[in-house]
Amino acid sequence: MRFTGFAAAAAAALGAFVPAAHAQHADHADHSAHGTQTAAPDALKQQAKSVLVAYRDALVARDEAAMRMLFAADSLVFENGKAEDTFAQYMEHHLGPELGEITEFTSPIRR
């Protein structure tokens, strides 16, 4: 079984969030603080990338404990646009049983 695309979808979703959050300030009359605000989206992107890299590494290592640490208890998992419920339930009923079957993992996320 080949597992591809989860990290790409998550990265796209997180990447879309940062510009949208920054865009809400684009039409304000006072743009004097923009020099200080540009660092925030870059920092958020780096933090998101760090989480995705950690998730990919845990997935490749089949380290369930490391994966669980990356999700809040009440976070929801979406796969292919469908809600899969909490990460704990996703791990128990979906991803967990598949971990032993995955023979190859491909991710566009790099260190």
Enter the pTM of the model: 0.60
The owner of tokens 């879309």 is: 16
Burial 49-75 (b: 16+ CB within 10 A, else e): bebbbbbbebbeeeeeeebeeebeeee
pLDDT at 99: 85
Please give the single-letter amino acid code of residue 34.
Answer: H
DSSP alpha helices (H): ranges in the chain? 6-23, 34-37, 39-60, 64-69, 87-90, 96-99
CA distance 104 to 96: 15
pLDDT tens, 60-102? 899 999 999 999 989 999 988 999 899 999 999 888 888 888 8
